[in-house]
Amino acid sequence: MNLLTLGMFAAILCATLGITYWAARRTRTASAFYTAEGGLTAAQNGFALAGDWCSAAAFLGFTGLTALYGLDGAFYALGPLVAFCTVLFLVAEPLRNTGKYTLGDVISYRMRRKPALVAAVAGTIVVNFAYLTPQMAGAGTLVRLLTGIPYDWSVALVGASMILYVAFGGMLATTWVQIVKAVLMLAAAALILVLALALAGFHPFVPLAGVEERYGASFLLPGNYLKHPLDQLSLGLGYAFGLAGLPHVMTRFYTVPDAKTARASVIWVMFLAGSFFAATTFFGIAAAHFVGRDALLAADRGGNLALPLLAQYVGGGAGTVGGELMLGFVSAVAVATILAVVSGLTLATSGTIAHDCYVNLLKDGRVDERTQVRIARASSVVIGVLAVLLGIFVQGVNVAVLVILAICIAASANFPVLILSLTWRRFNTGGVVGGMASGLVASVALAFAGPAVLGKDAIWPLVNPTILSMPLGFLGAFLGTLIMGRNAGHESRFDEVLLRAQTGVSQRDS
């Protein structure tokens, strides 16, 4: 198994490094580095979004959760899809029309004050590292599990690849790595789906009835994984508004030429990722039915090997050529999944460090093109190295709380600030700082006081705190705005912001 997986893994690495070589020769300007010069088509961006958004937690985790905990796993898979409605209805087009490379651009276009930009930078960096660290830790665990390479080396290997993609190939390489990953992921899913359905006599009710008979009717009910009645709602809120506040997802909307293409790319990703997420629910039920929960638990206590083991089973079983091929393929795709996600995160973080901090905060935008690209490349190397060190440092630590935090802060700090910037005339720098600060502090405090860290002694009962931290983020934004007071000049400029957000043009040349 190891050799086969290693072979396919090596093939994916070679292909993606080839892409990087090609992309590096086309990445000479800051606009090319951060946004591929805004020249992607809707289909390309849609596939890349699917590659960006489906982390290993989605690829392996949703199937595993469903296999072990039934309907709760299906709920986990639904949220990330419906969340694209928020993105499409509220943020995709204004982001495309207003921003250049980062969330900081949108906020500082509206506010024209440095404290507002500092707040946006803080929100971006905290969310991205909270997201990146568990991805790196997951990479170490998974690559070790799937290929036998030791944990530290696995993290270093993934980190080195991601640094090469981003530092040399910028957005173009990152995009194509994500597209390749999305195609592989969907191909693997389609293959498993057909084979599993064939085993079930093309009747999806067969495994459904099978798991109900074996594990009882409660398996197909919520509450097996998330115990508190409000857990599902709070998680749902986190998804519904957090996706629209994730900087590495926002960045993808700067890669298309106009609002119409931004809209169309959301439709692409909804059908691509949506069909994949829906399929994981069937995969989980099929894995519980065919492979059995005891075998899945024995292979990995978190259920993360449910999908690879289902693939092995439907391919013909352990020891058969078909079974081992399928297992190797799905394992290699899992690694590709991680590479695509960490690259997107590294690129978005490098955008906020190099573009927001260095160029705009430190140098007031007065930096020539070549220096901008140099700084962007250098910062992506630094971020990559930092991510590798963090990944190695947290080995064995329970990083579940970071996963919760990333989406929760995005919903509680970034989303309120972004949406109020685009819709509320009176919203000002005080509101940006107040919203970011209260959303961040509330998310961190509640997550660390919750069951993910304190277990049974939790002070706060819910796993995901968004149900309280998001209202607190909005409250901080309102109070900050009121405290700073009104400014007629600032408020009259809102018409200009609206015009730009809706049409992409400005009254004055800029």
Q: By the criterion CB under 8 A, which residues form the site for another protein? A: 71, 74-75, 78-79, 81-82, 84-86, 88-90, 205, 208-209, 212, 217, 220-223, 228-233, 235-237, 240, 259-260, 263-264, 266-267, 270-271, 274, 277-278, 281, 495, 498-499, 502-509
* Cα separation values, 459 from 45, 387, 398, Å: 42, 31, 18
Buried b (16+ CB within 10 A) or exposed e, 375-406: bbbebbeebbebbbebbbebeeeebebbbbbb
Of 81 and 185, nearer to another protein (C-beta) is 81
Q: Are 142 and 335 in contact (CB under 8 A)?
A: yes
- CB of 497: closest distance to another protein in angstroms? 11
Q: Which one, 29 or 224, has the nearer CB to another protein?
A: 224
Burial (CB < 10 A; 0-12, 13-18, 19+), residue 479, is middle
Shortest distance in whole angstroms from residue 198 CB to another protein: 19
CB of 357 vs another protein, minimal distance in Å: 32
Q: Which is nearest to 84 in space by CA: 341, 257, 247, 273?
A: 273
Question: Looking at beta carbons only, is 155 or 273 nearer to another protein?
Answer: 273
259 vs 432, beta carbon nearer another protein: 259
CB of 460 to another protein, least distance (A): 16
**Numbers of helices and strands, H then E, in the chain:** 25, 0
Three-state secondary structure readout of 492-506: HCHHHHHHHHHHCCC
Give the C-alpha separation, 156 to 162, whole Å: 10
Cβ 160 to another protein, closest distance in Å? 38
* Minimum distance of another protein from residue 53's CB (angstroms): 14
DSSP state for residue 229 in the 8-state scheme: T
Rounded to a whole number of angstroms, the minimum distance from the CB of residue 209 to another protein is 4
> Which candidate, 441, 439, 404, places its Cα nearest to that of 420?
439
Q: Which of 197, 161, 156 is nearest to 180 (CA)?
A: 161
Cα 249 to Cα 48, 63, 84, 148, 319, distances in angstroms:
10, 23, 11, 32, 41
Residue 210 or 322: the one with the smaller Cβ distance to another protein is 210
Q: How far is the CB of 261 from another protein (least distance, A)?
A: 11
> Do 172 and 36 contact (CB within 8 A), yes or no?
yes
Q: Which is nearer to another protein, 15 or 498 (CB)?
A: 498
Whether the CB-CB separation of 173 and 23 falls below 8 Å is answered with yes
**H-type helices in 200-292, by residue range?**
205-215, 231-242, 247-250, 259-290
Nearer to another protein, 259 or 444 (CB): 259
Nearer to another protein by C-beta: 244 or 452? 244
**Minimum CB–partner distance for residue 185 and another protein (Å):** 18
Torsional class of 236: left (φ above 0), alpha (ψ -120 to 50), beta (otherwise): alpha
**Smallest distance from another protein to CB 203, Å:** 9
Residue written as tokens 């997802």? Answer: 249
Please, how many CA atoms are within 13 Å of residue 346, restricted to the half-sphere of its CB? 39
The nearest distance, CB 236 to another protein, in angstroms, is 4
- Which residue's CB is nearer to another protein, number 43 or number 382? 43
- Hey, what are 342's tokens? 């960490």
Closer to another protein by Cβ: residue 122 or 230: 230
Q: Which of 347, 358, 338, 346 lies closest to 386, judged by CA? A: 346
Phi and psi at residue 204, in whole multiples of 5°?
-60, -15
Q: Which is nearer to another protein, 21 or 89 (CB)?
A: 89
To another protein, the closest distance from the beta carbon of 500 in angstroms equals: 10
**DSSP type of residue 460:** S
Cβ proximity to another protein: between 198 and 267 the closer is 267
